[in-house]
Amino acid sequence: MLTLLDQLDKGTLWRSPGGIHPPEVKFLSNATPIGQLPLASTYLVPVPQVGENCTLAVKVGDSVLKGTPLTQGTSIWHLPVHAPTSGTIVAIEPRASNHASALPVNTCVIAADGKDTWCELVQNQLDDLSHQQIVDKVRSAGIAGMGGAAFPTHIKLNPVSEIDLVIINGVECEPYISADDRLMREYSQDILAGIGIIHRLLTPKRIVIAIEDNKPEAAKAMQAAVSQCGLPAGSIRVTVIPTKYPSGGEKQLIQIITGREVPSGAIPAKLGIVVHNVGTAYAIHQAVTQGKPLVERVVTVTGRNVGKPGNYWLPIGTPVDHVLTATEFTPEPDQKVIIGGPMMGHALANIQVPILKGTNCILVPSSQEIGSTPEEKACIRCGECATACPALLLPQQLFWHAKAEEYDKAASYNLKDCIECGCCSYVCPSDIPLVEYYRIAKSALKQAADEKQQAERAKQRFDARLARLEEEKLAREAKAKEASERRQASMTGTDKNAVAEAMARIAAKKAAAQAVTGESITEESSVTTTDTTEVPKGKAAVAAAIARAKAKKAAQANADGTDTNGAETDNAVTMDANDSISATDTIAQEAPLSQKDKVAAAIARAKAKKAAQQTDTAPLESTETADNTPALSTDDDKKAKVAAAVARAKAKKAAQQAETAASDIEVSNTEISVSDVNDAEAIKKAKVAAAVARAKAKKAAQQAETNAENGLNQTTTPAVDSAANVHADVNADAETAVNAAATDIEVSNADVSVNDAEAIKKAKVAAAVARAKAKKIAAASAESKTDAEIESVDEIQTEANVASPSIAATLDTATTEAEAVLPSVGSTAEPIETAPLSSDELKKARIAATIAKAKAKKAALAQEANASSDSSVD
């Protein structure tokens, strides 16, 4: 069985699928040698042309020579662009591209100086260069595939796999184009020199130069050059293949020469095959041996409307309109200018575009040659397109999905394998421009792939940023930890103790807050005077203290109703008040309250005081009713005793309430949080609030005295009734004053808190002063009473005699007036003593007596002052 190499040596060929035979029309341009055109005044060099990731090496105003690199880059896909002639960079700006869309691309505009001076060229002997040096020179020369694909040549010259076969493509199958034909005829030796460089780099087993049978002159020239080259005999041969379009396609040519089919999505190098164009081989020779970069190429200018059709050496960047003008172009109405051949080329929307490295033809056909574009009709599903497709695709399916913009489905039918040869469009009886649909679909897929790649790159950058930030955070934390360790190592014992104490205080505050939150409020009704349980916290502590005070007061009120020992009652009241104050102080010291708890405690105290006031009013009303009843008693002395006892009891009660208010004030001051206020302004507010409270208390006391005086002046009222009225006024005024003072201080405590020991000390002093004043008032009210039972109103007279005769006289007058208005009772009435008096009635009597005594003293002092004034006047 013959091997592939044996078959190649025998010239065996295989048939390729599909294909068509359009008119060639190569005679218009292949009859004349390759010519030169005059230099243009301006050259347009797009950057980049092939590849990506390039940067400009020049700027506006720079002078350049022919062959000067305009770009530079490090990517393997980057190919440098060189100046096509000498001149000056006059602009770097977007200009229309050599594409059917005419989208603008960045372009270097060079104003030619007309000298066409080359830059310094470095010529080398091939034997003096290494493999890598040759590849580098090819790359630095910017050589790309000259057959139209413009693939970077240096990548093909450095494959990763072993190459067995190199095919030099001289087929040039598309109609009208004859650039490769003329190049092989005129520069066959240079092409063979380039093939020799390729052979050195790839060391293939065979090299085949493929030429269509419609180019006999080119085949003869290349055969002659092969016989004269220095390559090993039998390693290179010229193979003539049948003319058929598109036999010049890379995959189609491989199938014709070897019978192998390149898999979908694969490259020929995987089969051990590499394909190069004859123009590329010529450019390789120019770059490696003479040091010339790719700055010009052979371009076919043809068509019926060109006066001088032919092939010309055109510098890269030459404007198309300059070429047409130089070749005597005569346009027609609706004239088309096509870049490339009639099958795979594209019409230009603007002729102010440059020649590129992949431009091999400028076609300007007449209307008789190409005709008008026919109207697209509906597909009749004839299947001719599938028969003509050289890639064995399904053009019908591709068309339907592309037209419906279902690009993913079109890709599933191997759209990327379409070589856009145009065979399907050529044979379509419905005149459907199938290739145009395929190009649009490919562009959409490419754009989607680019966007996905950009998104992936953005995600990678974002992930890298997050990783960097995390590393920086860890580094900062490590640095802070090291600094903390250094500080701790350098701390003295005192500093460590201070830190430990601060941490302990924080932990204690946190534990106290948790304890207050977790405990429930104790019911007031469950608290008794014998409660010995642990002191509650927060709201429960306040409620428990109030409940105990109320319970003690109720027990004291019911313990003794005979008033046989007034001192016991007074002592009990005083003791209970002190116990309540002591309990409240203990709660304030052991259970610091929050702001909310303080407000709740103040409200609870106010409610308790109001309830106590209402409770005290009930027995007072009953006493007043009893005193106003004419049948109560006929003994005026007994009624006076009753009134005096009631007055003393009420005085005791007022003293107790004053002391309780002072105790509440002290508790509130103790409950002040040390952590709320941190400046002297808050301390000042606390002082002002205390002063306001004291002023209100004084004003209330004065009002109470005035009310008492008004009560005594009502001589038409019985004595007992007057005492009761005076008691009610004094009791209400005293309680009002106490409540006002307590409320003011509580509001001040709720609003203001002190942050230093000095402010706390001042607040405590203010509370102590208020408490002392309250005690002083209580002592003054109880000054005239005795520990034994009050026998008669005469005792008041006796106590008044000690002070002053004038006071005694006034008191006698007041007593006589009181007795004069007492109602008389019959001798058969039972004595008043037979009806025991309650403690509340005794308190009312005491208060009335005390007030009467005080008013008498005040009146006597006023009389003495008037007498002294009169004597001084005399």
- Give, to the nearest 10 degrees, the angle between helix 131-140 and helix 278-290: 110
Specify the pLDDT at position 64: 96
Specify the pLDDT at position 806: 43
- pTM, full prediction: 0.57
Listed in sequence order, the DSSP H helices in 491-565 are: 493-518, 539-559
Residue tagged 């006597």 (tokens): 860
Is residue 166 pLDDT above 80, yes or no? yes
Mean pLDDT computed over 286-292: 93
Specify the pLDDT at position 717: 40
Least confident of 425-429, 622-626, 695-699: 622-626
Exposure of 88 by Cβ count < 10 A (0-12 exposed, 13-18 middle, 19+ buried)?
A: middle
For 565, phi then psi, to 5°, come to: -140, 90
- State the pLDDT confidence band at 91, using cuts at 50, 70 and 90: very high
Specify the pLDDT at position 242: 95
341: helix, strand or coil = coil
Specify the pLDDT at position 850: 72
Mean pLDDT computed over 572-592: 44
Is residue 611 pLDDT above 70, yes or no? no
Closest CA to 321 of 278, 352, 285: 352
User: Measured between alpha carbons, how far is 339 from 423 in angstroms, rounded to an integer?
Assistant: 18
Specify the pLDDT at position 124: 84
Mean pLDDT computed over 567-586: 43
pLDDT tens by residue, 473-485: 999 999 999 998 8
Specify the pLDDT at position 52: 63
Task: Name the most confidently modeled range: 456-465, 639-648, 681-690.
Answer: 456-465
- pLDDT top residue among 484 and 678: 484
Specify the pLDDT at position 54: 79
Mean pLDDT computed over 486-507: 82
- State the pLDDT confidence band at 370, using cuts at 50, 70 and 90: confident
Mean pLDDT computed over 815-843: 45
Least confident of 311-325, 493-507, 532-546, 697-711: 532-546
- State the pLDDT confidence band at 609, using cuts at 50, 70 and 90: confident
User: Measured between alpha carbons, how far is 316 from 58 in angstroms, rounded to an integer?
Assistant: 17
Q: What is the mean pLDDT of the chain?
A: 76
75: helix, strand or coil = coil
Give the E-state strand segments of 201-255 in sequence order.
206-212, 236-241
CB 584 within 8 A of CB 670: no
Specify the pLDDT at position 782: 52
Closest CA to 279 of 298, 305, 256: 298
Specify the pLDDT at position 42: 96
- pLDDT top residue among 682 and 309: 309
